[in-house]
Amino acid sequence: MENTKADIQTNVEDRKEIDTEVILQYRDYEVNMDDVTERVKAHYIAKGFKADSIENMQIYVKPEDFTAYYVINDGVVGKVNLF
C-alpha cells in the first residue's frame, strides 16, 4: 500500500516536537547554543534594529576564538562571546 502525498503530510504534522538542547563543550568551557542565539539577538537589537525585523540568521561558532559570528538578514554582521 502506497502512501499518498496527503498521507505523508498528515504523518509529519502528527509528529510530536522534540525538546532538544545543544551544548557546545570546548576545553573546560560549555555553553548552551540557545543562549548563544539569544545573545546574538540581543546584540542585534543593541545595534538599533528591531527583533521582529529578523528574517534569517546564520551563526558561525568558532570555539578556538571563543566567539560566535553572525549574519542577520543577509547583511548585518557581528560577533558575540561564546563563554
Cβ atoms within 10 Å, residue 25? 9
pLDDT at 15: 79
pLDDT at 18: 92
pLDDT at 58: 98
pLDDT at 7: 63
Low-confidence stretches of the chain (pLDDT beneath 70)? 1-13
3-state helix, strand, coil in the chain (%, to 5): 35, 30, 35
pLDDT at 1: 56
| Spatial separation of the C-alpha atoms in residues 29 and 83, rounded to whole Å | 7
pTM to 2 decimals? Answer: 0.77
